[in-house]
Amino acid sequence: MNKLILSVLCAVALCAAVVPCFADTVNGVLAEERVVNLPNDSGKWYISVVGNANDARYNEIVGWFSTNPNLKKLKDQVHFCQVTTDTAIYKERYAGNVKGLPTVRMQKADGRVVYEAAGKNIPMTAAGLNGALANGVYSAEGIRPVLPWRREMERRCPGPGPCPTPQPQPQPQPDPEPQPIDDNGPPNIDEPAVESAVQWAWLPALCVLGFLGGLAGAYGRQLYEKLHPPVK
Amino acid sequence: MKRLLCALVLLVACAGCEPHFLANTPIQQERPAVNVPKADRQSNWLGNQREGSCVHASMISLLRWQGRYRTADYWRRTYGNGEWPEHMAATLDREKIRYAHVTNGDVKFLEWACKTRRGAGITVMGGAHMVCLVHLDAKWAGLLDNNRVERIIWVPRETLIAEWKASYGWAVTPIYTPAAPLPQ
């Protein structure tokens, strides 16, 4: 009899523990799960490429953000906005504040412009645009130096290579691939590879110069002591 | 000599100065945060079952704000009539739309939607209607009603939250890239 009572009590205790879980499920676990997984990306920066959808230059620049690895990486870290001149968004929000077309504009989450270039002021190559955007990030974040990073980049890509060909898009343009969902804030550009101020090729010459300098110093001191004997 | 000293002191004093006036320029937050252009605001329409399509209209306005013009056009051509949370979720899943929703009146969801500048469709009028929440701050909420898309309706935050919670607390939004803020 005692065993039976004990079993019933155990079963009741078990149900008491489980039932609230089901109640939660009924009250919208799916919704709760989605709330937890919402991207906390309000601090993300924005990169906008504004231009005419039929303009080859605009399409070329947009294409760079898919073909150039650095720009592709940057694109994945920001809100990337393609704005074409035939949209209401352009006419109402951006037509009055771009200096020309196409325009590339990088903004902080609060709208402050970190980098902007329009028309002929946009760098000629994808690597150039990446460098310009990186400069914008460095300036805004107070990161230095910039030049060695650019030198390093140019060392890696010394000559003129094949330009990425613009990808003509059929009309109407499909919506772009959605960006990854994440909690990123400002873009994280790789730390610049800081080059030594002294080139290694100059090292032997510097050693010789140092040696000669030391010799001259020692000789000069002896000469001084000879000319000015200590007064005793 | 005194002049030289004065000049030196002045030089040293100025050396530490940085022009902070640019950095300190106050940022003017856009109101509403989700400032959907008038031409992109989808008006409500009667579906083939003679029902209003406020949920779809809200979704279309938000899709356009988040740069999904083709999806928005497709949605306008394909869907209409009244909706309820489960059916809408199933439709969004089937169309592979990235979205988030709540049906439990969690205000954190509304705060997230406006903080990330995405906005959300929210139920009002006891659940009979859906409008776009386009702004929510400590005091005010901005609503874009698809029955009157010309202007934003401003109501106190508490009033909006009370209305929403009394209307089943359903909110839904696509998750794509919101339009860039106005340059500062």
Enumerate residue ranges in chain B where pLDDT < 50: 11-12, 14-22
Average pLDDT for A82-111:
96
Can you give the pLDDT at residue B9?
53
> In the structure encoding, which two tokens stand for residue A180, read together?
């990854």
Is there a contact between A88 and B37 if contact means CB atoms under 8 Å apart?
yes
- In this predicted structure, the answer to whether residue A27 has a pLDDT above a threshold of 60 is no
Is there a contact between B64 and A107 if contact means CB atoms under 8 Å apart?
no
Is there a contact between B117 and A87 if contact means CB atoms under 8 Å apart?
no
Place of tokens 């730390």: A191
Is there a contact between B108 and A35 if contact means CB atoms under 8 Å apart?
yes
Give the chain A residue nearest B40 (alpha carbons). A88
Within a 13 Å sphere around the CA of B168, how many CA atoms are in the beta-carbon half? 21
Give the chain B residue nearest A31 (alpha carbons). B102
**B-interface mutation test, from A46, A105, A183, most B Cβ less than 10 A away:** A46
What distance in Å separates the CA atoms of residue B180 and residue A117, rounded to the nearest whole number?
Answer: 16
Question: Which range is least confidently modeled, A24-28, A64-68, A70-74?
Answer: A24-28
Is there a contact between A81 and B179 if contact means CB atoms under 8 Å apart?
yes
Is there a contact between B37 and A81 if contact means CB atoms under 8 Å apart?
no
What distance in Å separates the CA atoms of residue A53 and residue A96, rounded to the nearest whole number?
Answer: 18
- ipTM of this model? 0.78
- In this predicted structure, the answer to whether residue A136 has a pLDDT above a threshold of 60 is yes
> In the structure encoding, which two tokens stand for residue B28, read together?
């003017």
CA distance, residue A164 to nearest chain B CA (Å): 25
Instruction: Please report which confidence band the pLDDT of residue A204 belongs to, taking 50, 70 and 90 as the band edges.
Output: confident
| DSSP notation for A175-214 | PPPPPPP----S--PPPP-PPPSS-GGGHHHHHHHHHHHH
Considering the entire predicted model, what is its pTM? 0.69
Q: Does A171 touch chain B (CB under 8 A)?
A: no
pLDDT digits (tens, 9 = 90+) for B6-37: 565 554 454 444 444 445 567 778 999 999 99
